[in-house]
Structures are given as structure tokens and as C-alpha cells.
Structure 1
């Protein structure tokens, strides 16, 4: 059997998305009410098992006979699908009534143990409910068995039809290259032409047809003239308007979307002209069955050609535009537009040939000879388009290399390169298969490949349209088109296009509806059936609850809480707690509204809780610690804390961790468990006051009372230092190098402690310099035990047992560990350290 024609697949592809998302029974609105009424009646009284048994037996007999026509199997399959839906409705209704009766029985209490009896009223009621439960459960059990039988028969029919399609694709026809078969093709063309001519001539001989023809002649002439005007002038005008909008699209936001939407007139206006031509031919009354089918195919052929021409103009743009999908030279883009138009032309001719020749009544040799030229021409065009796509991918890598960027193409460029190679292989392989005789396999590969490339190009344009609309709404620039939301919408469009791709590649609508039926039925967990309807209800209710929660959080954080006496940390804790409670309530309400019984998941959750508890104990510990932090609030956002050697400002507190911004402007993420179990220093917990201690050392010759007075005046002069309690100056100790003092004062805002310390140090240095008070530094005496060893000489006399230290008279300076003695200074040290044996003066 010849596969479904390409134009018919295209029509299904255009409606595939709607068909998959809609209910199977929505194809005929007038039958919906009757079918639903029948299913409701069967759900209440149980299915008609006698009728079902006869239908199932007939389907099994048809499957047992290998000669059964595929059309009969498809009709039986449609009836089985209706019965299966009715059985599913009976199961759902029975399940609800059985659950209600079981709850009633459980309300009577546990059944009596052996040797015990219920009170007479309870025993009588328990018996009545058990009998009612048996009666109510019977239709559900019967429907479950019938449902499984119908489902098995449907799957068997689908398998048989797929096997027949596969066998048809691998059927070897007479080779169209063989000249002996050419006569069959020519004879088929002429016989079809004579058929159309004979039908028109027979109708013309009817006087009533001639009268109708004369009366409709003005309508025909007007329709033809208007059609020619739309075809010749309308398309050119639409192309000029679109080109002007495209050239100005880079200067105005939203102009790309306007240009793309306006360019659709390039399809609509000429297609209206094609419709008028078909209308003019139809109203003549001269067309027969074959002629009407051929004329109607003109509409499909025109749609193919005009759509391919429009798509080629959008993908292979005329002007140098920044948003062009393919980066190709001008001459290659012009060639791409021409090749795209040829693909639409060949697809249209293929649709016309299927309507004019009637392949079902022709021989295999005739069908092979007629299809072969179109397959060869379409293969050449597809091969050339593949080369253009591959050229784009290579130029993308080359441009990245010239721009001194990593020569790694984007996902889109890599995908275009892969598609180009596949198109080149199919462009060569399909005509070769057709030349051998596998014409049906060649048709099933070549024409769907062309349609798939067209659909991918359409997805690219839709992605560009979404990005431009998003940029116009948000007021962003070119970078807004690459934002997350347009990317997610584009991904959703790609997912929604999958059923259309399946239809293009020969998947039957019934098979897609079968997949949708399985998805609609969902899956059962315990006694709860979860279907897409439940999931959709859950997502909608949860999204509403989540949105309301965020609105309440925003109102609390910006309007209500700032007017209370709570500090900023407390306000944040209230807002966070409201968010967690709101999200939890939204989830619970969503589960309840969707009818998902969480008790059915209790056993599974209990089994997983042990493993999850061990694996996520740190996460749970941090979560509980985060709740404690939000409730007790030992720290709050904006606090200056020190934990584990990290000091900084708390920026955010979540249920798992806390972010601390250090004074180096780096973010340190600390697990909440460390803040609860460890030692935390909070400098600004209750208030911002804090103590500052400044240590100062003065020379031993300084007047200590004068030093105390100066230090107190310096501290009291700082504006941020509190005067109650007043600053204090403490004479701590007699140090090794200085008299040690400390200035202790309370700051009203400890966040400025470093600035106050620096200002006080500057002021102390100035005041001490004016008062002649010296701030000493460390002093050290150097003594060399064996100076002659440094000169490489033997000691003249034995060194004394307890040599006296040698004091240096050189200016003293702090000893620097990284300041080695130079060779020039070494003789002076040797002189200073010379002992009595060398004539040195030990008193020095």
C-alpha cells in the first residue's frame, strides 16, 4: 500500500499540535454530548458486556486474518478506543464509591475477634455495607478486565499497522531508470488527463451545466482578474513593505516583530489569489471527481510554494541584518532563497501529482516513473541547501577565530552544521534508493526531511519573534532577546513541535492520540491515580499560592513592618518566616485541590526517610539551625560578627547558611550549624555601642600626669566618644622600653572604631610632639663573644670566663630582622667589640 501523501501529512502537521493537546472526541462536536452521556450511563450501570464481547471477538478475528484491510483495522481501533475510555470511566467511578463504603465500614470499628460479637445494630449495618461493597466493586472489576483486553487489542492493531508500513517501505518496485517502465508512466499521465477531459466534456453536454456556466461567467471573470492582481501585484507589494521594515528593524525596538508579522502577507495575499482561481474553476460546474481533487490540490501546492518562498526570504535575508539566522555572503543568501522556493515548488508538484494521477489505481511501475524525476530534483535542492547550512557553520568558527575568541561554535551553529550534513546525505541517498526501486522509502526520507527543515526554520523565526517582543515589553536592547524568559519560551515551543515532527515522519494521528490517552490516564500510586489534569491543577494552585505569599511578603517588608518597633533583623525574620509558612500552605492546598492523597505515599516516604536522614543529616542540621536563628535572632542582618576567625557584616540569613561580607568585600558562606554550635562574637547585637582601647608608650623621662591629661583631652575631643561614662586613662605598667598607658572610651557606634582609633593616634602624635614627650622604640645592646673568629684569626689570649658586655655608642635604632649588617659596617663593630688583648677600651 502506498504511504500517506506528503501534502496530507503536511495538513496533519499543521493541526497536529492542536490535535495532541485536545481531547480525542473534540474532532466532531456534535458527537461529544452523546459519547459523554453514554460513558456516564455505563459508569453508573456498568458497561454493556454483550456488545463489548462481540466487538472484541470481531477485532480478534480481524487480527487473525492477515488479509484484513488496514482501513478496517483502523475503524475497529477507533471503536476499541471509545470502549476503553468508557471502561476507564467505570473504574474511576467504582473506585470512588468503593473508597466511600470502606470508610463507612472503618467507622464502625474493627471487626470482632474470634469468640466476640458486635452489637446487633452494628453487626447488621456491617453486613449490609459489606454486601453493598461487593455489588459496587463488581462493575469496577469487570471494567478493569475489559480495559486491559481493549488496551491489548489496540496495541496489537498498532503493531500490525506499523509492520505493514515497514513492509511497504521496503517493497522493491520496478526501477524507474529502466526505459522499459517509462511507457507505464506516460500511459498513467495520459489516462488521467483523458479522465479529467472526459469528466468535463460529459458535464458540458448537460444543458443545466451550460446554463449554470453562463450565469456564473461574470463571477468567474471577476474572480480570475482579482486573483491575477493579487498574484502579480499583491505579493510584490508585500515583499517591498517587508523589506523596508527589515532594513529599519535595527533602529527601533519591536520593529523586527512588526516586520516578521507583516511579512506573512507574502503568504496570505497570493494564497487568496489561488483560492479565487480555484473558486472560479469550481463554479464552472465542469469538473468531475478527478478534476475537483486536482483543482483542490492547487491550494495545497500554492501553500507549499508560498510558505517555502516566505521562509527562505526570512532565513536567507536580502539585506545585511544583525539578526539574520544564517551568516552567509549575499550571493549565497540569494541562492538559498532560490533553493527554498524550489523545495516548495517540488512539494506542490508532488501534491498535484498524487491528486491527478491517483496512485492507488496505477501500477507500481507507473508510480515509480512519475515520482522519480521529482525525487531527483528535490534531492539536488536538498543537497545544495545542506551545503549552505554547512557553510554557515564553518564561517561561524572562522569568524570566532579571526576575532581572537575560542573557536567554539554555539549550539545553534553546531546544530546547523549537523543538519547540513544530514541534508547532503539524504539529498544523495534518496534518489539512489529511488533509482534502485525503493521509491516509497525514498519518498519517506526525502520529503519529510524537507518539511522538517522548514519547521525548524519556522521555530527559529518564532524564537526571534518572542525575543523581540520581550525586548520591546521590557525596554531592553539586543541583549534582552537572549534573556532567560525568551529562551524558556523557545524551549517550550520546541517541545510543542515534537508532535508535528512525528506527524511529518509518518506517525499516525491515532498513535499520537494513543500516547496522549496514556498520558491522560496517568499512573496509579496506591489508590490514587495521578494524571496531567491533577498535575496541572497542582501547578496552578501552587503558583497562585506562591504569588500570594510573595505579595504578602512584599507588603510586610515595605509597608507594615517598617512602621513597627522591630529592628531590621526582626523584620527580615518575620518576612522569611511568612514566606516559609505560605509556601508550605500553598503546597498542602495544591495537593488537596488536585486530589492527590499524600497518605498513599506515607509508606514510601517512611522507607526513604531513614536513608535520607543519614545522607542529609548535615543539611537537616543546618535547616534546623536556620530556623533557630530566625526565631531566637542571636544575629540579624546588618550585625557585625566574628565567628571562626571570620569577621564581617551579616548580609543574609537563609535556612541553610548565612552570608557574611568581610571588610575585604568578599562573601563568606557559613553553615548555620556553625553559628549555633560555635562561639560567635556579635559586636552590634543589642546596640551599636562598644569600647575602644588605645595603647600608648612614652619615655621614662616623661611626666606621667601630663601624659594622662593629654590622653584624656584627646579622647574627650572625639565627637563619637560617649562622655557618660567618661573616657578613662590607665597607667598600666613599667614596660621594658616605655611607660605603658591605655585610653579606654565608649563609642556610640562601634562601626566607626577603626576611624576613631586612627584619628586619636594622629592627635596623640601631634600633642606629644608639641609637649616634647617622646614615644620610645625598642632598644637592644649587641655583644660579640668571639670577635676574632669573624676576622679568621686565632685568639691572642684566652677569652675571660665572664666577659663584660660591650656597649655601643652608635645611634640606636630598632633592630630589623631583614636588615643584615653590611661589610662596610663590620670593621666598626669589630673595633667596638675588641677586648683588652687587642687594646680596646672595655668602658666604651
Structure 2
């Protein structure tokens, strides 16, 4: 019993200690935040120290890693100052509100000492806060300038590498320089290997390195059985639980990429950690071992992505539009790419670890570029043969190959040719960059394609009106089913756009360039400065950049319009005319933004564009008045929609269906299937009869007369029965028959009925008459048209006497 009591007391003491520690941990931030002004001021002071430290560090020579760390530090200081300024601005507003609450001192009155002291204190606080805010803004501006300076220096260094030239590898000078440095490089390699071997022998004699052996065994298990078992397990789960749609294949592809990347990466990490824990290798090998882990992860990613794209052994799980022959021919080349990726990364890590000479690095890059170019040429040749074989089978030239793939193949051949020429004339780094860039672009593009397809499949499957989530949202929140479909499409579009932007940022990341997507094209090269015209620098590089930006902008607009017309608008509740209006307005806005983007890349700002438009307004007012009038009228038609696509309209004596509305004209299909093109200004400024504007119904009108001896009620019943027996006649609004009048011994009937469309009125009226005429004839009722009376308004009078005399 005493033991139990002691244990109970001990537990209570431990609980009390833990409670105090937790209370202190929670109270610490609260105490730290008790004075927000002091905390914000401390953050500004620390940011100023960081900015000065980064500024001093940039005075010396820094490598890529140091530059990346300095940029992160400067960006962190900028973020801290922004938040601190926001906090101080809030406090300053509170102080100003308190000063305003005290009011102004009335002249001639003596203010109370307490109020005077409080006013003085608040005034001092306002001065202090204002000074701190100005310090913070200044520090933020300096931090932003340092970030821009680092980005510019990184872009300049990248451009210098691209334009660096050495003697041609075909010249004896190149190899003479390499051979001169070879003895020193061999001594470095020997020293590196000797240090590693000596450390390995020393540690091995001390006992069996169980850590290294265990790490190696775990690496083999992860790369082999665990990876394969994870693939099979995921496929069984998807077959059993996932809906029978593309989501299965998309989820399986992403899972294969994740497992194929993480298992080799984790295995290499465990193996390296085992070596380190065993102490088998010296500290100098640390960077090389880290490079081995990274190279293994990149190689695993390459193998996983290409395997998920091709799916040679499981074609039913393939989500790419490749046939089995293409997958079988390309899979061996993908393994070669995996080996090259691993080897290239390991060579770079080894050269960095031993400190290779610049000549050895350049020679290695030349060999790597040559091998990569050979692999790219082999791949293009295989694709060309597959294309030729497919064209021969289909008796066509290029029907089986999309235009996008053909353009990509052509650009690849051009890039290979440029890289080969650059390699021959001595631009080694440029050729190496282009060769590796092609492989990295294919790899990144393949991964991006898998993620885009998977994102679209998952978003449009989960957020759909028939799914479990869609039914829940519809029933619980009262959301319409179309809104759920639209949300899924918008979510898919936003996520895919984000993935594309991230992919652009990662495109040049492995080669030491900036990962900012907006700076990608600025880092591709430095062109001639050109000439300055009206405050704008015009150069070949700026023109090419502007054309490239315009092309990319138009391509983005085209892809967005395809998504808008084929995916989003069909999921809305808009009719065909509404979709056309939204599509036209979005297309013109997108084209305008693409043009502005292209002009902005030339250095032509929006204010210059506005000035140009104002100068053109005179010419538009005189020479292009009709075109401008039609354009504005088209915008009015699209906005107010007095005429929509599908409406039955009459313009003058022509009547037909509206088939297309553009910003210049409207196309109307007439009854004889000809097309009437009407300028939009005609539809706005003149009278137009729209038979389907208020509703799509059409009306039938039948007028006839019967003798006054006929049973009017029977005639009315017969007419209504004839209307009811016609399927084209609508029950609502109900048909009606009226006695219009009684003239000259005949009863005049005026009968009405409605059909689904004005286009069906003519045929339905004929069908009713074909049934009405024999029915009335069988009942002995004669039918006639509405009688017409001829009255002589000015009848001829008898001739006067003098006229008779004249005759």
C-alpha cells in the first residue's frame, strides 16, 4: 500500500509539473504579444539587421547556395517588415482615435492636468509609431531591392554560362587543356578514394558494420518487394472501391509515381544513414553521399513517371493516348534516360566532392551532352518510324498524329540541331543545357500531364451532381446540381492552372536559374540593347520576346476558350445564345489581354496604348464609322440580348432563324436554307419582328364562316375536337373558338390554338384544316370564307340636264 501511495504522489507531481510547463508555454506567446508595438518594433529592428547582413554578404563573391539563402533571408525580412508595418498602422489608428476622442483645446480655456498629460503621452506615442512605420517601410523597400538585385545577378550569371565559349572539342587545343589538367584531377580522385578506403578498412576491422548492412537490406526491400506490393495493393483497392471511371487509372498513375519515387529515395537514405552511423566513410564523402540520395530519388522519379505514362505491361491502366506498339518501343529508351539521369547527377556530385578542374567539368559536360543528344535522336527516329508505319496502315499522311505532337517533334529536331552545332563550335555549356533541358522538359511535361489528367478526373468525379458529395450538397444546402458541376469544373481549372505555373517555375530550377515563373523568359538570354524610340527600347530580343509572349497568350486564350465552350458552359443553365454571348466576350477580352501582354513585354505600357488609341479615334470616327457602329451594336446585342441564337425573326420581308451573332454581323438562315447576313446596326436602329422573344410558342389562327342556320355550338365543338386530336397542338394554353360576328346571314368563327414553336404553326394549321373540312362536310355544314362586302363610297350620280344637252 505505501508503494501505491508513493506512485500516486509521484504521478500527481509529474502531472503538476507538466501542467506548469504547458501553462508557461502557453503564457509565453501571450506575454510576448502583450505589447504589440514592442514586438513589431523588434521585428523591424531584426529585419534591418538582416538587410544589412545580406547587403554586406553580397559585396563578396557568393555561390548559388549562398545566393539562395541570402534571397530567402531578404525575402523573410521583407515579409516581416510588411507584417510589422500593418500591426503598427493598426496601433496608430487606435492612438489617433483616442486623440480625436480627447477633442481640441478650446482657446482661452485651461485643460485639466490629467487630460494634458494624456494628450502629451498619446502625441509621443503617435510620433514613435509614425517613425517606426517609416523605418519599417524603408527596410521593406531595401529588402525588396536586395531580392531584385539577387534575381538580376542570378539571371546574369545564367546568361553568362549560356554565352560562354571554349575551344571546339574537335580541335587539339581543347584536349590539350584537358590533358594538362588530367594529372592533377587524377590525384584528386585518388586522394578522395584513398581517404574513403582507409576509413572503410579502419572501421571494418573494429567489427561488422551492422548499421550499414541493415540499411542496405532495408534499401533492397523497399526498392523491390515493398514497391511491387504497394502497386498491386493499390490496384486491388481501386478495383474494389473506386468508381468505374478514369479516376481509377488516374489514381493508380499518381500512386505509381509516388511509390516509385519515395521507395528508392527512402532506400538510398537508409543506406547512406547506415554508412554514416557505422562510420565507414569520412566526412569529406558527406556531399557525395547526399548527391547519391538525390540522384537515386531523381532516377526513381524518372522511371516512375515514364512507367506511369507508358504502362507497357498493363495497357488497360494507361491514361495516355499511346498504343501498345508505341509503349513497347519507347519503354527501353525510358530506362536509358533513367540511367543517364542517375549517372549525370552522380558525376556532378563526384566532381563537386573532389574539386575537379574546370577543364574536366567542361569535358564531362561535352560527353554528357553528346550522349543525351544521341538518346534524343534515337527517340525521335523511333517516333518517326512509328508515325510512318501508322500512316501506311491508315493510307494517310499524318492523320494519326496530332498537330501538337508534330510541332513538338519539329521543335525537338531544331533544338538537337542547334545543340549539336553549339557543341561543335565550343558552346559546351549551352549544348549541355539544351540536351538536358529537352530530357527534363519531357520528364516534367509527362509528370504535369499525369497530374492535370488526375486533377480533372478527381475534381469532375467528386464534385458532380450524381456523386455522394453532390447529392449531399444539393439536399443539405439546396444548391442546384448545375452549380455543383460548375464548381467541379472551376476547381479543376484553377488547380490545373496552378500546376502549370509551378511547372514553369520548376522548368529551369535544376540548372541554377530562378524558379520564378515570371522571370523564366528573362533568363533565356540577353539580346542586343537596340535603339530607343519614344522612350521604348526596340531590340531583336524585345521583339522576339513580345512575339513569344503574344503566341503564349493566344495559346492560353485558345485553351481557355476550348475549356469554356466544351466543359464549363455546357454545365451551366445558360441557353445557346447566352453561351455564345459569354464565349464571344471572353474571347475578345482574352485576345485584348494577350495583345496588351505582348506590347507590355516590349516596354509599351498601357498609357502608351491609350495614347495610340486616342490618336486612332479620329480615323475611326471618319473612315471606320460603319465598322465601329456595327461593333458597338454587336456588343449591345450580346449584352441586352433582344435577339438570341435560335430566335425566329423577320427583318423586312425576310424571315428565318438566327444562327450566329458576332460583333459585326448576324447570320439568319432563311426557309430555303440560304443565309442572310445582316449588319448589327440594322438590328439595333430598325424594326425587327422577333417571334420567340417573349416565349417559344407559336399560334394557329383559323377563320371561316358557316350559314346562320348551322348549330354554332356544334361547330365550336367540332373545331375544338380537331385541335385536341392534333399532337402538335398544346393543351396549355387551351385552344379556343370564338364567334367573331354575324354578317350577311353567316356566322364568322375566329379560332386559335398554340404549338411548341412558331416554326410548327404552318404544318399544324394545315393538319387541322385537313381534319376539319371533311368533318364539317359529314355533318352537312357548309363552310366558307369570311365574306367581303364591296361598298361604293362615291356612287356615280345621274347626268345633269346641261350635260344631257351637251351629249
TM-score by length of 2: 0.54
**Alignment match of 2:439 (pick from 443, 450, 459):** 450
Asked if 2 retains the 8 angstrom alpha-carbon contact of 1:452 and 1:501, the reply is yes
| SS of match in other structure, 1:358 | helix
CA shift, 1:457, in A, is 0.5
| 1:310–1:42 CA distance, 2 compared to 1 (3 A) | same
Structure 1 segment 418-567 matched on structure 2, within 5 A: 418-430=407-419, 433-434=422-423, 436-469=425-458, 489-508=495-514
Matching residue of 1:349: 343
2-side partners of 1:625 and 1:438: how far apart? Answer: 61
Q: For residues 276-306 of structure 1, give each alpha carbon's deviation from its aligned partner in whole angstroms, at most 9, with x where no partner exists.
A: 5445544542211244443443333333333
Q: 2:212 touches 2:277 (CA, 8 Å); kept in 1?
A: yes
Q: Matches of 1:47 and 1:229 in 2, distance apart?
A: 49
3-state SS in 1 of match to 2:710: helix
| Distance in 2 between residues matched to 1:356 and 1:494, nearest whole Å | 33
| 3-state SS of paired residue (1:497) | helix
In 1: Cα distance, 2:141 partner to 2:357 partner: 42
Aligned position for 1:383: 377
For 2:715, the equivalent position in structure 1 comes to 714
1 CA distance for matches of 2:55 and 2:509? 28
Distance in 2, Cα, partners of 1:681 & 1:347: 68
Q: Per chain length, whose mean CA-contact separation is higher, i.e. which structure has more relative contact order (CA < 8 Å, sep 6+)?
A: 1
Q: Tell me the distance in 2 between the aligned counterparts of 1:449 and 1:38.
A: 56
* Aligned 1:771-810 pairs, distance under 5 A: 771=780
Q: Report the RMSD for the aligned CA atoms in angstroms.
A: 6.4
2:743 to 717, 720, 732: 732
- Give the whole-Å Cα distance in 1 for the aligned partners of 2:415 and 2:429: 14
Tell me the distance in 1 between the aligned counterparts of 2:218 and 2:54.
Answer: 54
- Deviation, 1:505, is 4.6
Q: Distance in 2 between matches of 1:254 and 1:54?
A: 52
SS in 2 for 1:302: helix
C-alpha spacing 1:442/1:94, structure 2 compared with 1 (3 Å): same
Task: Pick the aligned partner of 1:361 from 342, 355, 375.
Answer: 355
CA contact (8 A) 2:37 2:91 kept: no
Structure showing greater radius of gyration is: 1
**Are residues 408 and 198 of structure 1, via their aligned partners in 2, closer, same or farther at CA, if it must alter by over 3 Å?**
same
Unaligned runs of 5+ in 2: 1-27, 468-484, 521-616, 618-628, 643-647, 657-670, 673-679, 724-732, 789-807
Aligned to 1:195: 192
Q: Which residue of structure 2 lines up, in the alignment, with residue 695 of structure 1?
A: 704
- C-alpha distance in 2, partners of 1:683/1:154? 59
Q: Secondary structure at the match of 2:155?
A: helix
Gapped regions of structure 1 (runs ≥ 5) = 1-31, 516-610, 627-639, 649-662, 665-669, 698-703, 734-739, 780-844
1-side partners of 2:427 and 2:333: how far apart? 25
- Kindly state the Cα deviation for residue 453 of structure 1 after the two structures are TM-superposed: 1.3
Q: Is the 8 A contact 1:327 1:396 kept in 2?
A: no
Structure 1 pair 174/241, CA: closer, same or farther in 2 (3 Å)?
A: farther
Corresponding residue for 1:163? 156
8 Å Cα contact 2:272-2:293 kept in structure 1: yes
Correspondences of 1:389-404 after superposition (within 5 Å): 402=396
- Indicate yes or no: 2:306 matched with 1:312: yes
1:683-735, CA deviations, whole angstroms, 9 ceiling, x for partnerless residues? 999xx9x99874226xxxxxx55xx234443225666799xx997585413xx
**Given that residues 223 and 267 in structure 2 are in contact (C-alpha distance below 8 angstroms), is that contact kept between their aligned partners in structure 1?**
yes
Separation in 2, partners of 1:368, 1:414: 38
Give 1:741's match in structure 2, choosing from 737, 746, 770.
746
Give distance in 1, aligned partners of 2:395 and 2:429: 45
1:87 aligned to 2:81? yes
Larger deviation, residues 498-507 vs 236-245: 236-245
Checking the alignment, whether the CA contact within 8 Å between 2:415 and 2:434 is kept in structure 1 is yes
SS in 2 for 1:380: helix
In the alignment, the residues of structure 1 paired with residue 717 and residue 447 of structure 2 have an alpha-carbon distance, to the nearest angstrom, of 78
- Cα 1:193–1:40 shift into 2, 3 Å: farther
1:47 touches 1:87 (CA, 8 Å); kept in 2? yes
Change (3 A) 1:235 1:432: farther
Does 2:133 correspond to 1:140? yes
Q: Deviations over 1:184-203 (max 9, x none)?
A: 44753563244233333146
Q: Is the 8 A contact 2:416 2:435 kept in 1?
A: yes
Q: Cα deviations across residues 624-644 of structure 1 (Å, max 9, x unaligned)?
A: 999xxxxxxxxxxxxx99999
Structure 1 residues 105-146: Cα deviation after superposition (integer angstroms, max 9, x where no partner)? 88999x99xxxx879599999997888655543332333333
Task: Mark the CA change 1:731 to 1:505 in structure 2 (over 3 Å): closer, same or farther.
Answer: same
- What are the Cα deviations for residues 169-193 of structure 1, in whole angstroms up to 9, with x where unaligned? 4444566664432464475356324
| TM-score normalised by the chain length of structure 1 | 0.52
Preserved contact between residue 185 and residue 367 of structure 1 (Cα < 8 Å)? no
Q: How many residues align?
A: 577
SS for the counterpart of 2:704 is strand
- Post-superposition offset of 1:338: 1.6
Partner Cα separation in structure 1 for residue 779 and residue 513 of structure 2: 98
Mapped to 1, the partners of 2:437 and 2:638 lie a distance apart of 56
Identify if the C-alpha distance between structure 1 residues 682 and 435 changes in structure 2 by more than 3 Å, giving closer, same or farther. closer
Q: Is the alpha carbon distance of 1:761 and 1:363 closer, same or farther for their aligned partners in structure 2, counting shifts above 3 Å?
A: closer
- Quote the Cα distance in structure 1 between the aligned partners of 2:54 and 2:192: 39
